[in-house]
Amino acid sequence: MACRMNALKRPVQTLFKTLSLGTLSLGKYRMDAGESSGFTRMFTIKKNGMDFVAQIRVRPGNPAVKLEIFNDSYFDEFEQPEAAVLDGLARKVLAQVSKDNALPEGALSLIQEYLEELDSSEAEVADETYAERDLDAIFARFNNEYFDNRIQAKIMWGRDVKSRNKSGFRYGSYDEGKKLIRIHPRLKQDFVPLSVLELTVYHEMCHQFAPSFKKNGTWQSHHPEFKKKEREYKNFKEARHWEKHNWHRLLLPSSEHAEAVTA
Ligand SMILES: [Zn+2]
């Protein structure tokens, strides 16, 4: 008869995560006798040709794992919200760190648990939120539904600025020469109804459908033919109503809406 060994299960780690500006902290664990006391690693992250300095610290206690990026302009290099950038980075760094022999066992299981959770929750988020805010998908759907697939343009998210807008908010733009539609990245935020993002995409597509023209020396962009087409979008009224009452909320950079995440 084979000898079976019962491995004593460790008490379940309290898995929680907090995010604050440039810092990810992970759970806690207590050190078992004989374990090493943890470690600190500095590293640089390269993005758009620049180096950013970061550090990861693993030690018994609370928080057990702390990942810090020392220069928060790092986050300006991305179109995603800071929390998503930090999660992405944490995944890479933690995968690396979990191969390190100096890593205490308690921290290893905490990190593995975190990475597993990240994998499962990410799949859900990708399905529910981001798929809806997929510009190419919205463009393709509208082109088929409203324009007989005749609109030929590229579409992309514009770049966000970190400061508050002073003059107003520009939802999107259409560059006729480049046939390029740009959508303001603040429309990715959850509090913005999908219909508002959709109307923005639709509006810019209308600009190709009903081009601007010059009349008595001035450019007419939102002329009657344009407006007639624009009102065909099925959630036009609902979206316009929201814009009228909420546009001021879009004057703030996305990051200022982000709250610390505790899970
Ligand atoms: Zn316009």
Distance 54 CA to ligand 1 centre (A): 43
pLDDT tens string 64-76: 788 888 777 787 7
Mean pLDDT taken over the chain: 79
Q: Most confidently modeled of 6-10, 91-95, 127-131, 238-242?
A: 238-242
Distance 194 CA to ligand 1 centre (A): 19
Task: Tell me the C-alpha distance between 103 and 184, whole Å.
Answer: 43
Distance 246 CA to ligand 1 centre (A): 19
In this prediction, residue 258 carries a pLDDT of: 38
pLDDT tens string 15-42: 455 656 567 776 666 656 565 677 788 8
Q: Is the pLDDT of residue 121 over 70?
A: no
237-253: average pLDDT? 90
In this prediction, residue 122 carries a pLDDT of: 59
pLDDT tens string 110-120: 888 878 877 77
Query: Which domains are seen in the chain, by residue range?
Result: 14-130 (no CATH), 135-254 (3.30.2010.10)
84-98: average pLDDT? 80
Distance 258 CA to ligand 1 centre (A): 29
Contact call for residues 55 and 74 (beta carbons, < 8 A)? no
3-class secondary structure, 68 = strand
In this prediction, residue 64 carries a pLDDT of: 78
Task: Tell me the C-alpha distance between 139 and 202, whole Å.
Answer: 8
Task: Tell me the C-alpha distance between 47 and 127, whole Å.
Answer: 27
Q: Is the pLDDT of residue 5 over 60?
A: no
Contact call for residues 68 and 55 (beta carbons, < 8 A)? yes
Distance 205 CA to ligand 1 centre (A): 9
Q: Is the pLDDT of residue 54 over 70?
A: yes
Residues in the chain, overall count: 263
176 CB neighbour count, 10 Å cutoff: 11
In this prediction, residue 231 carries a pLDDT of: 97
Distance 224 CA to ligand 1 centre (A): 12
For the chain, report the end-to-end CA distance as a whole number of angstroms.
Answer: 45
Answer yes or no: pTM beyond 0.75.
no
Distance 222 CA to ligand 1 centre (A): 6
Distance 206 CA to ligand 1 centre (A): 8
Angstrom CA distances, 83 to 24, 100, 256, stand at 9, 25, 12
Distance 221 CA to ligand 1 centre (A): 7
Three-class SS of 165-209: CCCCCCCEEEECCCCEEEECHHHHCCCCCHHHHHHHHHHHHHHHH
Task: Tell me the C-alpha distance between 247 and 221, whole Å.
Answer: 21
Task: Tell me the C-alpha distance between 185 and 158, whole Å.
Answer: 6
Q: Is the pLDDT of residue 170 over 70?
A: yes
Distance 172 CA to ligand 1 centre (A): 8
